[in-house]
Structure 1
Amino acid sequence: MAVLDRTRTVTQAAQQSTGKGRKGAAGLGVLLALVATVVWSGSFVATRGMAETVPPVQAVFWRWVIAALAVTPFAARQAWRQRTLIRRHLRYIALATLFGVTLYNTLVHQAGLTTSASNMGMIMAASPVIMALYARLGGERLGARRVLGMLLAAFGVLLLVGDGSLGFDFAAGDLWMFAAALSFATYSALLKRKPAELGGLAFLLTTFVLGALMLAPAYAVSVTVQGGFRLTPGTGGMLLYVGVMSSAVAFFAWNKAISLIGAARAGVVYYLQPVCVAGLGLLLLGERTGPAQLLCMTLILVGVGLGSARR
């Protein structure tokens, strides 16, 4: 009996330790998703600020060049050690790069030409809905409360871009942002398939380098047709922000969050991005927030509360 009691005690202690470990990992995952969300909020403001001075493709190309340079000191050794593994999974890495690095950010910068930073952030609230749909197709159970929260957020997005109605009168930039939301959600879903043995820093550096290479032909065409841009302190500062903070730091945090809590739960945190973007747009760009946007923010916040439930 004494042996059984000791065994039971050890088992209970192990279960408690495992439970605490899972809670700690989940808490860290939510925190990292929040860090990425806040940093990306600033990137929409920077993207909008560069819209009149830097052609979209050129801005995105230099974004990834700067990002690759920023992570190289930390990731080069791991990438070199895992070069055989990278070659083995190059098709998967290239697909993730296409959606998460090349297409997504090019679409965001293109959207910045014809829509506000606030609208960009609001429309990106559609991406967690798509992430959740991908998760459901992958067999994950969502639950009624989470589904209701996502539907409320989606309704708020449609209300916003319709200027307070559901007339679907979208600006060109709004449509570009919907495409960006789909691309980012696809990237987030692909992250769940990342080989466990492939290091996060090696994966990050490889996607940044591949992203710049994929954009190189379009960059050359843009420079030939549109000409280059004049590098000013303001433009340089915004490029450094989107290259170092929004790319190197935010993508590392988001990728790690996905590995800890999954794309659907990280997407719930991502719903807060439109609120952050609207605040930064008001403070830095003077973009006013109207009644429709305030209603959308309210719906998003309610969606976060409902969507945070596991069931």
Structure 2
Amino acid sequence: MSLTTARRPTTDLPALAPRPAPVRGAGLGLLLALLATVVWSGSFVASRALHDTVPPVQHAFWRWIVALVAVAPFAARAAWRRRALIRRHLGFLALASLLGVTVYNTLVNQAGLTTSAASMGMIMAASPVLMAGYERLGGTRLGARRVTGMLIACAGVLLLVGRGALPTRLGAGDLWMFAAALSFASYSALLKRRPAELGGAVLLFTTFLIGALMLAPVFAVSLAVQGGFEPTADAVGPLLYVGVASSAVAFFAWNKAIALIGAARAGVVYYLQPVCVALLSYALLGEGLGVLGAACMALILGGVALASARSR
């Protein structure tokens, strides 16, 4: 094989080195983080809509099967060609799959049994604080403006959860969501250690596959104990959304955003998720907003704008 042939571009997406974003890439990174945040907001509404019909583990398992089918045409062949590289980094891929695929989404679905979609989105706003904490422990300076904006946005989220006061009592669903937030933040922080040789599509396909395999035994137990679900349009539609949009599209956008701007800065955009979820749950599920909700959303938006502003 000639050197030219060996370096021929593949259909896989380009590898991304975990470096701070150049100025020209910061805007794209923020837009990709926003895209992922908006799309994921719909997944909380879908989880809530399915809480009476699809058991949480089965919901998670079929989500990743759909995602695998969606990503396979773009990544399966490239993943096979890079199988030696995948074996070399199997430990990283297994941990990323466990945190970002197997555990995170199962916890979200479990929370959806007893918690409103709006509350799920609000509690997930704890993730940016955890992401920033991980980056600070890694030696990254966050800057006074970003920290101030994060604190303002976080205050808005806490007031929204506590309906105007700091929350003092949490239900079971709320605790499941805090566990999901920790899992997602850990996944996002782990992406900083992503091997540069792993392209974006290969990373998605491999983590989706490993995550689905990890879920398979629990899925079998759920089928035996709880039975299956009827594949009606009301059940299949949300599953297709979370499989294609919330998994294939949003995870690629999020991973790319972190590669461009880092987890802490992408996490600032994630504060917008409570706003998106609240609006979607109001429009699709009839869950109310109220004057307090609108005021807290304004506080969150202001904090995000401050934290995301480019230093001059």
Quote how far apart the aligned CAs of 1:290 are: 3.0
- Equivalents in 2 of 1:247, 1:206: separation in Å? 13
Quote how far apart the aligned CAs of 1:293 are: 2.7
Q: Cα distance 1:236–1:137, how it changes in 2: closer, same or farther (>3 A)?
A: same
Quote how far apart the aligned CAs of 1:309 are: 4.1
Partner-residue secondary structure (3-state), 2:96: helix
Q: 1:178 maps to what in 2?
A: 178
C-alpha contact (below 8 Å) 2:38/2:273 kept by paired residues: yes
- The equivalences for 1:61-76 within 5 A come to 61-76=61-76
Quote how far apart the aligned CAs of 1:172 are: 1.4
- Equivalents in 2 of 1:252, 1:102: separation in Å? 17
- Equivalents in 2 of 1:183, 1:88: separation in Å? 24
C-alpha contact (below 8 Å) 1:161/1:170 kept by paired residues: no
Q: 1:4 maps to what in 2?
A: none
2:238 is the alignment partner of 1:255: no
Q: Which of structure 1's runs of 4+ aligned residues deviate more than 6 A?
A: none
Q: 1:134 maps to what in 2?
A: 134
- Equivalents in 1 of 2:255, 2:124: separation in Å? 18
Quote how far apart the aligned CAs of 1:167 are: 4.4
- Equivalents in 1 of 2:300, 2:103: separation in Å? 26
- The equivalences for 1:116-195 within 5 A come to 116-195=116-195
Larger CA deviation: 287-296 vs 212-221: 287-296
Quote how far apart the aligned CAs of 1:154 are: 2.4
- Percentage of matched positions with identical amino acids: 71
Normalised by the size of structure 1, how large is the TM-score? 0.90
Q: 1:275 maps to what in 2?
A: 275
What is the one-letter code of the residue matched to 1:100? G
C-alpha contact (below 8 Å) 1:131/1:186 kept by paired residues: yes
Quote how far apart the aligned CAs of 1:235 are: 0.8
Quote how far apart the aligned CAs of 1:23 are: 3.0
Quote how far apart the aligned CAs of 1:294 are: 2.7
Normalised by the size of structure 2, how large is the TM-score? 0.90
Q: 1:32 maps to what in 2?
A: 32
Larger CA deviation: 53-62 vs 149-158: 149-158
What is the one-letter code of the residue matched to 1:178? F
Quote how far apart the aligned CAs of 1:176 are: 1.0
Unaligned runs of 5+ in 2: 1-20
- Equivalents in 2 of 1:94, 1:128: separation in Å? 23
Partner-residue secondary structure (3-state), 1:115: coil
Quote how far apart the aligned CAs of 1:218 are: 0.9
- Equivalents in 2 of 1:167, 1:78: separation in Å? 48
- Alpha-carbon deviations, 1:237-276, whole Å to 9, x = none? 1100000110001001111111111111111111111111
Quote how far apart the aligned CAs of 1:302 are: 1.8
Q: Which has the higher helix share?
A: 1
- Equivalents in 2 of 1:290, 1:178: separation in Å? 24
- Alpha-carbon deviations, 1:157-199, whole Å to 9, x = none? 3333333322411121111111111111110000111000111
C-alpha contact (below 8 Å) 1:32/1:257 kept by paired residues: yes
- Equivalents in 1 of 2:26, 2:147: separation in Å? 20
Q: Cα distance 1:251–1:167, how it changes in 2: closer, same or farther (>3 A)?
A: closer
Quote how far apart the aligned CAs of 1:63 are: 0.3
Unaligned runs of 5+ in 1: 1-20
C-alpha contact (below 8 Å) 2:157/2:274 kept by paired residues: no
2:215 is the alignment partner of 1:242: no
Task: Return the index of the structure with the highest Cα Rg.
Answer: 1
- The equivalences for 1:18-57 within 5 A come to 22-57=22-57
Quote how far apart the aligned CAs of 1:67 are: 0.4
- Alpha-carbon deviations, 1:101-121, whole Å to 9, x = none? 111101111111111111111
What is the one-letter code of the residue matched to 2:97? T
- Equivalents in 1 of 2:139, 2:70: separation in Å? 37
2:109 is the alignment partner of 1:109: yes
- Alpha-carbon deviations, 1:117-160, whole Å to 9, x = none? 11111111111111111111111111122112222222233333
- Equivalents in 2 of 1:236, 1:28: separation in Å? 33
Quote how far apart the aligned CAs of 1:295 are: 3.4
- Equivalents in 1 of 2:66, 2:259: separation in Å? 25
Q: 1:221 maps to what in 2?
A: 221
Partner-residue secondary structure (3-state), 1:142: coil
What is the one-letter code of the residue matched to 1:57? V
C-alpha contact (below 8 Å) 1:161/1:168 kept by paired residues: no
- Equivalents in 2 of 1:178, 1:156: separation in Å? 17
Quote how far apart the aligned CAs of 1:24 are: 2.8
C-alpha contact (below 8 Å) 2:121/2:274 kept by paired residues: yes
Q: How many residues align?
A: 291
- Equivalents in 2 of 1:178, 1:78: separation in Å? 36
